[in-house]
């Protein structure tokens, strides 16, 4: 694994230089100037992970919504940091599980406040995608959109957590989404 350490100014200065960066780890202390500092990371190439010291949950949520791929505490072990990096490089998002429902609600509110745009599939295309799902997969997807976890879904549907995971794998494949957040965005239209 190759890496380099640079200052905030050097990092932002590299945005237009087409430097091949797969991943950027950013110290949260550099971002304590407000929301604009997180947005300044957007044009940078590669995926971004913020490493912080008890960074406020509201800031973590805003960072993920702004396109940051993960947040991890400074005091975790190197094994955990390696798992975070590996997950993010596999196009996953890394954050505390209990924040997922809050992020989903905020994204849904933002989506409702915005005028329709053409970034995602049309309503007809969305309905065609959803028609690929079985009744049980639709039930699981709906519960995911409500922010429920696998255990809660399993209990509600009287199935095992392993079966919930199997349904999720099938849902992700059929709808061509990578994770729960993208699934919810698709479901919310």
pLDDT, one tens digit per residue, over 83-95 is 888 888 887 888 8
Residue 13's pLDDT is 59
Domain count, the chain: 2
Q: What pLDDT, in 10s, does the model give residues 38-57?
A: 777 777 778 888 898 888 88
| Same domain, residue pair 168 and 132 | yes
Residue 45's pLDDT is 74
| Same domain, residue pair 82 and 139 | no
Indicate the residue among 95, 127, 154 that finishes a domain: 95
Give domain status of residue 74, yes or no. Answer: yes
| Same domain, residue pair 143 and 179 | yes
Give domain status of residue 100, yes or no. Answer: no
Residue 11's pLDDT is 56
Q: How far apart are CA 160 and CA 150, in angstroms?
A: 9
Count of C-beta atoms within a 10 Å radius of residue 90: 8
Better-scored residue on pLDDT, 9 or 96: 96
Among 50, 61, 5, 12, smallest CA distance to 28 is for 50
Q: What pLDDT, in 10s, does the model give residues 156-186?
A: 999 999 999 999 999 999 988 878 878 887 8
Indicate the residue among 60, 79, 95 that finishes a domain: 95
DSSP state of 43: T
First vs last C-alpha separation in the chain: 39
Length of the chain: 189
| Same domain, residue pair 78 and 141 | no
Q: In CATH, what number is assigned to the domain containing residue 166?
A: 1.10.10.10
Secondary structure class of 174 (helix, strand, coil): helix
Q: What pLDDT, in 10s, does the model give residues 98-137?
A: 887 788 777 766 665 555 444 566 778 878 888 999 999 9
Q: Judge whether 85 and 105 are in contact, CB under 8 Å.
A: no
Q: In CATH, what number is assigned to the domain containing residue 14?
A: 3.40.50.2300
Q: Please give the sequence-ordered ranges of beta strands (E in DSSP) within the chain, or none if there are none.
A: 23-27, 47-52, 70-73
Q: Which domain holds residue 34?
A: 8-95
Residue 1's pLDDT is 44
Q: pTM for the whole thing?
A: 0.57
């Amino acid at each position: 694994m190759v890496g380099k350490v640079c200052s905030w100014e050097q990092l932002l200065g590299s945005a237009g230089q087409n430097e091949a960066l797969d991943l950027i780890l950013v110290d949260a202390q550099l971002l304590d100037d407000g929301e604009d500092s997180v947005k300044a990371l957007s044009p940078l190439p590669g995926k971004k992970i913020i490493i912080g010291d008890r960074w406020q949950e509201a800031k973590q949520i805003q960072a993920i919504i702004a396109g940051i791929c993960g947040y991890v505490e400074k005091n975790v072990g190197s094994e955990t940091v390696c798992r975070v990096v590996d997950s993010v490089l596999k196009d996953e998002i890394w954050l505390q599980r209990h924040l997922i429902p809050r992020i989903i609600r905020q994204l849904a509110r933002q989506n409702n406040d915005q005028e329709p745009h053409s970034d995602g599939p049309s309503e007809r295309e969305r309905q065609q995608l959803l028609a690929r799902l079985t009744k049980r997969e639709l039930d699981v997807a709906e519960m995911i959109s409500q922010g429920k976890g696998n255990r809660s879904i399993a209990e509600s549907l009287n199935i095992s957590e392993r079966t919930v995971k199997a349904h999720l794998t099938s849902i992700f494949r059929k709808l061509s989404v990578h994770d729960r957040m993208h699934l919810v965005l698709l479901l919310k239209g």
